[in-house]
Structure 1
Amino acid sequence: MEAGQRPRWRKSDLGLRGTLATMKKRLPGLALCVAIALVATGLGTLAPVVGAPVFGIVIGAVIAAFLKPGTVAEAGAAWSGKYVLQASVVVFGTGLSIVEVLQTGWHSLPVMLGTLAIALLGAWLIGRALRLDGDLRTLIGVGTGICGASAIAAAQSVIRAKSADVAYAIGTIFTFNVIAVVTFPFIGRALHMSDHSFGLWAGTAINDTSSVVAASFSFSAAAGAYGIVVKLTRTLMIIPITIALALYKRRQAVKAVRADAAAGTSAEQPGRLAWNKVVPMFLIWFLVAVLVDSLGVIPASWHPYLSQLGSFMITVALAGIGLGTRIGVLKQAGLRPLVLGASLWVLVALSSLGLQAVTHTL
């Protein structure tokens, strides 16, 4: 190279340098999220009713209160809150088997689908009455109707809700998970429910898998085994709901462009919707994970470890969301998210019992 001549970088070299620079930028925040997750996992072991994911988002939010915007941890925390969240959903798919889903029997589907419809419709109607933000209504609705933190993770990846909304939703789901774990076994015994009917009730009316396990096994081992299968089947509803949310967001974007055009504002028409925009890639991999497990490729002995990995990844991701949350913003929501969560919790619990009575599974 002649003196004074600038070095010529190949495009591949520039791409590699850019990737390494991006990774270096994200590493401090990601490391902090992992550290928080380790602490949260220890606390979750001591207090399983609360659970590590909730500890993760709470610790992250507390630390965020002392961090200034633009801190070195910001990029890694944001990356964790999005991509580690998506990866955790895929890992959870390795614990689902299509055979197990079919073995739950067609008689459980009316209860499962009915409670999901009531949760989503209730979130829309009651949330509008409470004047809650649309994204927050959606997150609380899918969290209540499907599977708590995992469903919130999937929905968040599509609708790109604010970190504060995710925190509201997680906190709301957590509150009523704790209440359900404590009260459901007593109510079940008072109603003289069978193991089968209680497992179906817990599996369709309690949000997070850990809470379903805690409540149903508190009732009986048989109720626990059935409740887990129902809950895992219910988790599959993540796929159609997330696809529907993606299509809805697309429709909103098209309307916004048309409104700008009608107002005389220059706006670029959105192009044809690509399939990977309707069906996010992490959901494709989630379905692949389910199919791989259904074919027996994943040894049964791996399932407990994969479940632990998925739970830890969710805790890492929620720590990132917590780090991106500002406590001052959370105060603005007041009690309205809890009112919505309480209303949906009661609606889903009662509708599950009612649908069981109608379908003669109570």
Structure 2
Amino acid sequence: MFTTIQRIQFNKQFFIFSALACLCLFPVISSPIALVLGFTLATLGLVPSDINTALITKKLLAYSIVGLGFGINLPQAIEVSSNNIGIIVCSIFSTLALGIGLTKALKIKPKMGHLIASGTAICGGSAIAAVAPAIDADADETSHALATIFILNSVALFVFPLVGHWLMMSQHDFGIWSAIAIHDTSSVVGAASVYGDEALQIATTLKLARALWIIPVAFISALMFKGDNKKIPVPLFILFYCVAIAVAYLFPQFDLLYQDIFMVSKRLLVLCLFLIGAGLTIKSIKSAGLRPMILGVILWVTISVSSLAYILLAM
């Protein structure tokens, strides 16, 4: 039974937690800020103990990924992918392969390392959100992977335009580079928009094309971590993600509705990051150590430098 003081304390926690959660559904809160807000509440002990944030997050992540499928322009994504198929395939699978090797070398939990590599290889938080349930990663592994990716994501937002101007890159080349080497779509858009309109158009289109690779990577990941099960776990939300892309392509007359669903899904993803942050504590961060961040930095620097060299020398 709750005492009067416990009830008051619980009501205070619930009110603050609910208010900030609702605020995450509005554009005033970005993805990194949502993660920080959730982490701050957890640190201050303001997360209601009877709210199962891990369970809620798992369901919302699946819904968010499906909704994002409505924002994929299939013909455009296929065209951009075919024009840049070499650098896309090499960057994705070399990053995943390097991630596997470094995860073993750094003695990081295999699923956590794979999530960090997936987020670096494809599209940051969205990739992690898709792969995590496919490999049955726990909340701790998912939260650490997301924290690593979003810290580096924030750095990229400011560093990439500076490097691009220093190297006097064209808008076309910068658009390709930012789409390949920056984790999340939001930061890709942010960095490219600062560089110029052409860079923004190229970067956005190519990044959304890379999002299609969530599908095979999620299935491959499910196969890799199937354990002793004879059956390969099929991440149903990935199938629904494919259905969403197909529906948007086959029935373009409802484009305005698809865009609304896409925008709502992006906000739900921000809410998920808030909930993930709410499950991330200083104790859990200390227990993981610096190794996940070291892995994230090595992978990010590798894909950034190698893709930049390819763009400058071969394009």
Q: Could you tell me whether the CA contact under 8 Å between 1:94 and 1:289 is conserved in 2?
A: yes
Gap regions ≥5 residues in structure 1: 1-28, 46-50, 255-269
Select the residue among 242, 256, 278 that pairs with 1:287. Answer: 242
Correspondences of 1:1-362 after superposition (within 5 Å): 35-40=19-24, 45=28, 52-65=30-43, 71-74=49-52, 77-104=53-80, 106-250=82-226, 252-254=227-229, 270=230, 273=231, 278-297=233-252, 299-302=254-257, 304-357=259-312, 360-361=314-315
- What are the superposed Cα offsets for residues 94-148 of structure 1, whole Å, 9 maximum, x if unpaired? 1102201123163311111111122112211222221111011011000011111
Paired residues, what number?
303
Partner Cα distance (1:62, 1:288) in 2: 37
Q: CA deviation at 1:67?
A: 5.2
Q: Match for residue 9 of structure 2?
A: none
Q: Residue 280 of structure 2 aligns to which amino acid in structure 1?
A: T
Q: Residue 313 of structure 1 aligns to which amino acid in structure 2?
A: L
Q: CA deviation at 1:230?
A: 0.4
Partner Cα distance (1:281, 1:244) in 2: 14
Q: Residue 283 of structure 1 aligns to which amino acid in structure 2?
A: I
Q: Could you tell me whether the CA contact under 8 Å between 1:56 and 1:319 is conserved in 2?
A: yes
Q: Could you tell me whether the CA contact under 8 Å between 1:33 and 1:80 is conserved in 2?
A: no
Q: CA deviation at 1:204?
A: 0.8
Question: Percent of aligned positions with the same letter in both sequences?
Answer: 30
Gap regions ≥5 residues in structure 2: 1-12
Partner Cα distance (1:36, 1:156) in 2: 25
Q: Could you tell me whether the CA contact under 8 Å between 1:164 and 1:325 is conserved in 2?
A: yes
Partner Cα distance (1:331, 1:298) in 2: 51
- What are the superposed Cα offsets for residues 133-173 of structure 1, whole Å, 9 maximum, x if unpaired? 10110110000111111111111111222222222111111
User: Which has more radius of gyration?
Assistant: 1
Structure 1 runs of 4+ with >4 Å offset: 29-34, 65-70
Partner Cα distance (1:284, 1:298) in 2: 23
Q: Could you tell me whether the CA contact under 8 Å between 1:37 and 1:312 is conserved in 2?
A: no
Q: CA deviation at 1:320?
A: 2.8
SS at match of 1:193: coil
Q: What is the RMSD of the two structures over their aligned residues, measured on CA atoms?
A: 2.6
Q: Could you tell me whether the CA contact under 8 Å between 1:37 and 1:52 is conserved in 2?
A: no
Partner Cα distance (1:31, 1:93) in 2: 33
Partner Cα distance (1:165, 1:30) in 2: 26
Q: CA deviation at 1:354?
A: 2.9
Q: Select between 294-303 and 206-215 the one with higher mean Cα deviation.
A: 294-303
TM-score of the pair, normalised by structure 1: 0.76
Q: Residue 348 of structure 1 aligns to which amino acid in structure 2?
A: I
Q: Could you tell me whether the CA contact under 8 Å between 1:37 and 1:315 is conserved in 2?
A: no
Q: Match for residue 10 of structure 2?
A: none
SS at match of 1:332: helix
- What are the superposed Cα offsets for residues 223-261 of structure 1, whole Å, 9 maximum, x if unpaired? 1011011000111111001101111222x224xxxxxxx
Partner Cα distance (2:281, 2:22) in 1: 22
- What are the superposed Cα offsets for residues 254-283 of structure 1, whole Å, 9 maximum, x if unpaired? 4xxxxxxxxxxxxxxx5xx2xxx5431101
Partner Cα distance (2:233, 2:138) in 1: 21
SS at match of 1:147: coil
Partner Cα distance (1:278, 1:214) in 2: 36
Q: CA deviation at 1:184?
A: 1.0
Q: CA deviation at 1:175?
A: 1.5
Q: Residue 91 of structure 1 aligns to which amino acid in structure 2?
A: G
SS at match of 2:122: helix
| Distance change in 2, residues 1:62/1:227 (3 Å) | same
